[in-house]
Amino acid sequence: MTHRNLLSQYPQFVVHYLDNLLNPWLWVEKADEMIEASKALEPQLRQYWNVVLTNAKEGKYDKGTEHPGIPPPNLHGPYFILVSYALENLFKALIILERRDEISSQFLQTGRLPRLINEHNLVKLSKEANMKADIKEEDILTRLSRQSKWKSRYPVPVELHDIRNIIQYSDGKPYFTDYYTPRDLDLLNAIAQKVRGHVAGYVNGPR
């Protein structure tokens, strides 16, 4: 079915679709919901790291005679998915604010979600949204994208090449991307606040 057939077959949906697609605050609302949901996991993640770091500090992982404390279940995967989707929506809200006409034109040409919005790579989206990221932020955005695309959902990726865990960043150096750190939570909170603030500041605050 061609895009013209799609648009002509469902004319009653075109205006509604465009209105929702081009409303940045609808994207922000979805992001806020996912950020709120991620907050419910934070206490357990912090407890997880508290146990792991205490065990490491006391050398219990190196002493076969001492049984280390058992941490809570590792919920980094679900947490990363929620934060990744939230940041994705916030970046897309910024892109919509900047490139509304271009996005509208793409939809009317194809009858599908426009290329600018049908993207899930957070590093690419941050660039499209004109949000500068240092290497530390690029690292965690790359790790988030990998987790949300497959690592936290499937035992294997859909595409074989995505199993790579060493990726070259913008500084030309290779980095290992398959890990978590106890600093991730605070860094992700800071990035989310930064991007959310940038969206709100774009139009002098939310509706």
Q: What is the pLDDT of residues 20-59, one digit of tens each?
A: 999 999 999 999 999 999 999 999 999 999 999 998 888 8
Cβ-Cβ contacts under 8 Å for 117 (sequence gap 6 or more): 21, 92, 95, 96, 103
Q: Which residues of 9-37 are buried (b: 16+ CB within 10 A; e: fewer)?
A: eeeeeeeeeeeebbebbebbebbbebbee
Share of the chain above pLDDT 90, in %: 75
Distance (Å, whole) CA 192 – CA 189: 5
The confidence band for 206, taking pLDDT boundaries of 50, 70 and 90, is very low
Q: What is the pLDDT of residues 123-152, one digit of tens each?
A: 999 999 999 899 999 999 999 999 999 999
Return the pLDDT at 207.
42
Share of the chain above pLDDT 70, in %: 93
